[in-house]
Chain A
Amino acid sequence: MHKIAILLTAALMLGCLTFGHHTRAAIDAYAFPDETLRDRYNGLIDELRCPQCLNTNLAGSDAMVAKDLRREVHRLVLEGKSDEQVLDFMYERYGDFILYEPRFKPGTWLLWLGPIALLFLAIFFGIRFSRRSSQVSDLTEDEDRKIDQLLKSQESSTDK
């Protein structure tokens, strides 16, 4: 029963991971001199969020601003800008929102560190609770062993 529950949860989580990958709604006929640039372009428009549509990336959006921004990404990539420079370009104009992976700065500390802090809290309390519940008996190991022996001898005697 327990195992089934764990398996189901794992399957659900895996499902979330795979379905989280975005579909590509828009097809632009952009030319690239080589495949590396095309890959970088595709990577960037996957990584950048469409400012208009709340939860779609540039690759998946048909909004006017998304088309314009894809054109800019294409231009910047062809101009020889690095991925970091393209992301900076977008960040300077559209701010935190445009990046699916927010930058680490005072305003986003809680966002980055909050889950880790929660995890440590959970571990801390988990250990405390499990310790308390295992410390029910004050019997020494010696006494425990005696009880076990007595139980065994009782079982074997009733078997006979």
Chain B
Amino acid sequence: MTEPTAELVQDSLNDKVRERSDPNEKPRNLKTLLVPLVVFLSLVGILAIGFQLEDPHKLPSVLIDRPFPQFAMRELYDAQRTVTQNDFKGQVSLVNVWATWCPNCVIEHPQLTAIAASGVPLYGINYNDVDEKAKGWLQRYGNPFTFNIVDDEGKLGIDLGVYGAPETFVLDKDGVIQYKHIGEVTQRDWLLTIKPLIEQLERDS
């Protein structure tokens, strides 16, 4: 009595097993199995390149193509004088944010001095600093700045989106911010980026 039923069950089970191991299905399964792996690996690749592409410390400035923010602040050596954004107008110029507590400012100073000597107007913003220290620093390393704005509370710095020093802005003749350089300006930065930009801005206007 039990034997025929067992055979029948075995048959149908065999059917199922045969369907599962259809020889045509194998290569397709292998391919579909590989798809997630390939997708994952390419994602890893894109992210790996993306993370190395740019220094995460160098944030893009939102101020590019905007006029220099309005301000009215004291000059370092002439307390009677009030400097405003209008003092940048008339010539393509550089505005450098510096401080005595900033080691990279010392490193970039010879380059800034050379740039100023070449005839480009260079203005300083003495950022979060103390007047006496700043004067001592300029006496020691030389003063290439046409004037220095005293930003002892970092307020102008905030309006400029500054988050450290040194930072250098390139302004066109109308006092509109055209470029922001974060960190020290090296000779390479000057020759390859900033100098060509200044020359182009001078031609354009």
Contacts and interface: CB of A to CB of B under 8 A. Distances in A.
Given A54-B56, A65-B154, A143-B12, A93 B20 contact: no
Given A65-B163, A93-B161, A95-B60, A137 B16 contact: yes
Contacts, number: 68
Contacts of B12: 139, 143, 147
A158 B15 CA distance: 24
Nearest to B4: A150
A95 B161 contact: yes
A32 interface: no
Interface in A102-160: 129, 136-139, 143, 147, 150-151, 153-154, 157-158
A72 interface: yes
B2 A154 contact: yes
A123 to B, nearest CB: 14
B163 A52 contact: yes
A64 interface: yes
A101 interface: no
Contact of B158 (A54, A93, A143): A93
Contacts of A94: 59, 62, 161, 163
Contact of B2 (A63, A72, A158): A158
Contacts of A51: 59, 161, 163
A150 B5 CA distance: 6
Interface in A46-76: 51-52, 54, 63-65, 68-69, 71-72
A158 B6 CA distance: 11
A97 interface: yes
A122 to B, nearest CB: 10
A92 interface: yes
Contact of B9 (A54, A68, A72, A150): A150
A12 B157 CA distance: 41
Interface of B: 1-2, 5-6, 8-9, 12, 15-16, 19-20, 32, 56-57, 59-63, 128, 153-155, 157-164
Give the 10 A-B residue pairs with the shortest CB-CB distance, closest first: A51-B163, A95-B62, A68-B154, A93-B161, A65-B163, A52-B163, A94-B161, A97-B59, A150-B5, A157-B2
